[in-house]
Structure 1
Amino acid sequence: MDGFLLASPNGVVRTTGTRIAFDAAAAAASALRAGDTELIVGALPFDPRRPAALCAPEQALHTAGPWRPAALPELPEVRVVSEMPSAAEHMARVAKLVEQLSDPEQPLRKVVAARSLLAEAAAPLEPEVVAAHLVTRHPRANVYAVDLTPAGRPGETLLGATPEVLVTRHGRTVTLRPLAGTLPRLADPGADAAQARELLSSSKNLEEHAYVVEWIRDQLAPVCGTLTIPDGPELLSTPEVWHLATPITAELRDSSITALDLAVLLHPTPAICGTPTALALDTICDLEGDRGFYSGAVGWCDANGDGEWVVAIRCAELSADGRSLRAFGGGGIVAASDPHTELVETTAKLRTFLGGLQCAVPD
């Protein structure tokens, strides 16, 4: 895929071609400020120390309203061929993290632990066709497809349907809606409603969510004159899970701070990394290796500094030949976490992406 797509419920940004490629956010931000480009699009990796996949596109189109694909071609069969790590190994990792987090002498308070499934397609998958199936299945999500060539991964594509907006900036107004704290949806309506109430009153999930909100407050306070944060989170639902969400608004002191600057300032949040950030990041890299662009950020920023960045979750990385993809799911671990519950949560999250491809996810 030689381009970029971010289809949000309120608008679609689509680009083709690459005029200038950037593997570092700082270089992309400098090009915007110098007037070398009117638009930057692409993805930031989970680990900010690794190469980004950003570019100044050759052509761009920004339209209002949701994306309604004109056609929905049939997808080839997709099946899971391996788990990394296995379900048992993931629960063992979580148990070890819980033990570590329960030690009052150490500073780590939260770590997001993830696992992935490797799937193979019977014929090459077209990124735009996959994205069309995702937006049809998840019309309220932010569906994205990003060429990873600028990061030194020619022909590979990041694809996903995320419910989480990292940050938007329009003029001096900044909006965010962090998600942290999750329970799977249930088939029975009564049980599902009880599940939602349980999430909203869960001390474990409220603790996990509070880390994220307080961290965002601390990050934005130096650059924002006003910051409006509700006293507690609200519920957000997807077909697969319930989330705790907090809508946040702020006003920038300095209008020269762009949406890309804000994305770099805020990423990675404790929602997809942990607390404290640097220690959680190193812990994840030691446990999991390179996450690539899973739980990174996807978005755009124009010459006015306006833009939108979403959190790259509910996603997969598609190989250059279109035949294999690696899908990811994770969950925040705190001292009160239960390993089996955390496994179930990652399974529900993996179904967001793989379910869009009619691919069964092992329990």
Structure 2
Amino acid sequence: MSVAVSTLDGTDLLDAYTAGQSSVFVSPSGTLLAEGVHEEVNTSGLADLPAQVADVFATCGHPVRTVVGAVPFAPDAPARLIVPERLRRAAVIGSAPAVPAASAARESLPPIPDPGYVAAVARAVEDIRAGAYTKVVLARALRLAADGFDPTPVVRGLALGGAGSYTFGIDLGGGRTLFGASPELLVARHGRMVSANPLAGSIPRSTDPAEDARRAAGLLESAKDRHEHTFASEAVAEGLLPFCRDLRVPSEPTLTATPTMWHLGSRITGEIRDPDVSSLALATALHPTPAVCGTPAAVARRAIAELEPFDRGFFAGMVGWSDASGDGEWAVTIRCATSGPDGLEVYAGAGIVAASDPDSELAETTAKLGTILTALGVFDVA
């Protein structure tokens, strides 16, 4: 039997995960382990992706009728989507883990000097104030030497530690693995029900409970962060509206916590109109949201290409799964890293608007980098 649905706890599948040999995706609805590669989807870009996957389902003749993998940030870059040889599912990992405030180790993460990033944010703020665009998300990438690094225990630790609602370890082939713990759901479809949870507007957490509460309350009241969040939530709602009826969009954002960050989030839900529209089709219609790109999207993309000195690859893309019935889950690929023969690349970004302060955005991205750096046991990276 190539497809197995288990009543076991998701920790059993985590124990079976091995980087380079399998892929794992952990979400609030369960754990999925994909083992082996029956077929790799040959992709030519974001626009044709749902049709290409549908063609694979129609012709592959394999009992596993699910694709698992990751889609990059750039719309014309190839995705890594596979039909696994064997697919196992399990229930959620025990009870939902608590999300404590940042540990002393995370809080001790030193500031990571990056004058290039500060200058890029300052340039973006000038352009926004001049009317070139309204928001852009600028990212940083840290490159770490790590010969023989195995991300397997890191993925397990991220999932068991509650670092994010969506933990993933995706085999990219060629000895490379995309791994991380994202707090942000791009879109999910289960039957006729659709949900999304855009996050935008953030502040680092504190180990001091009183200060942590003050920061959370301040984020909810921050005009700058609420303005930033509005771009993301409205764009997701507008993107889903043609596909959904009874779309419910919160009038006010709520707080979402990770061990390192507070975020503003809006849980958007609805019912799909056409059952033939898959979760992957919904995800490609939404990607990229203003939470990882900016607005207007085309102008923000050009600004990112000009101001970021690296190729994002799978960072700020989407990661997850979709099956032949159309069900699936896709998380935004943030709080992530890519490992391979040349070492590791760790990514984090921040939304830049007219009121952004370059030093504050640097501090925010340092805190976001802390999710992976803490899991790696790396602190002295200055």
TM normalised by structure 1 equals 0.89
CA displacement, residues 194-237 of structure 1 (integer Å, 9 cap, x when unaligned)? 11111101111101100011111211111112210110100011
Match of 2:54 among 29, 43, 47: 29
1:360 is matched with: 379
Q: What does residue 334 of structure 2 align with?
A: 313
User: In the alignment, which residue of structure 2 is the partner of 1:15?
Assistant: 34
Structure 1 residue 132 and structure 2 residue 152: aligned? Answer: no
Matched, 1:350 2:369: yes
Partner of 2:345: 326
1:103-126 superposed Cα distances (whole Å, 9 cap, x missing partner): 13x3x11000000111123x5222
Give yes or no for contact 1:119–1:324 (8 Å, CA) kept in 2: yes
Q: How far apart, in 2, do the equivalents of 1:142 and 1:350 lie?
A: 16
For residues 252 and 59 of structure 1, the distance between their equivalents in structure 2, rounded to whole angstroms, comes to 29
Distance 1:192 1:232 in 2: 21
Go from structure 1 to structure 2 and tell me whether the alpha carbon gap of 1:35 and 1:222 turns closer, same or farther (over 3 Å shift): farther
Residue of structure 1 equivalent to 2:241 = 221
Give distance in 1, aligned partners of 2:153 and 2:362. 30
Report the counterpart of residue 120 of structure 1 in structure 2.
145
Task: Number of aligned residue pairs: give it.
Answer: 338
| 116 and 181 in structure 1: CA distance in 2 versus 1, 3 angstrom threshold | same
2:298 is matched with which residue: 267, 270, 278? 278
Which amino acid counterpart does residue 134 of structure 1 have in structure 2? L
Residue 137 to residue 265, structure 1, CA distance change in 2 (3 Å): same
1:91 to 115, 118, 124: 118
Shift of 1:349: 0.3
1:32-111 alignment runs, 5 A limit:
32=57, 36=61, 38-66=65-93, 87-104=114-131, 106=132, 108-111=133-136
Match of 2:290, SS? coil
Does residue 243 of the first structure (1) align with residue 269 of the second (2)? no
- Matched-pair identity in %: 42
Match for 2:363: what amino acid? V
Q: Which residue of 1 aligns with 2:320?
A: 299
Calculate the TM-score normalised by the size of structure 2. Answer: 0.85
Structure 2: which 5+ residue stretches go unaligned?
A: 1-19, 44-48, 96-111
Which residue matches 2:108?
none
**C-alpha separation in 2, matches of 1:263 and 1:55:** 17
Decide whether aligned partners of structure 1 residues 299 and 112 sit closer, same or farther in structure 2, where only a CA change above 3 A counts: same
1:142 aligned to 2:173? no
Query: Offset at 1:33?
Result: 5.2
Alignment check: 8 A CA contact 2:54 2:324 kept: no
My pick for the range that moved more, 236-245 or 6-15, is 6-15
Higher deviation after alignment, 23-32 or 271-280: 23-32
Report deviation, 1:148: 1.4
Give the counterpart letter for 2:315 in structure 1: Y
Range 112-121 or range 279-288, more displaced = 279-288
Root-mean-square deviation over aligned CA pairs? 1.8
Asked whether the 8 Å contact 2:38–2:84 carries over to 1, the reply is yes
| 3-state DSSP of counterpart to 2:368 | helix
Preserved CA contact (<8 Å) 2:163 2:258: no
Contact 2:164/2:181 (8 A) holds in 1: no
Q: For residue 80 of structure 1, what is the aligned residue in structure 2?
A: none
After superposition, the C-alpha distances for 1:77-112 in whole angstroms (9 at most, x for unaligned) are xxxxxxxx96111000000000000013x3x11000
Whether the aligned pair in 2 keeps the contact of 1:137 and 1:356 (CA below 8 Å) is: no
Residue pair 2:237, 2:268 contacting (<8 A) in 1 also: no
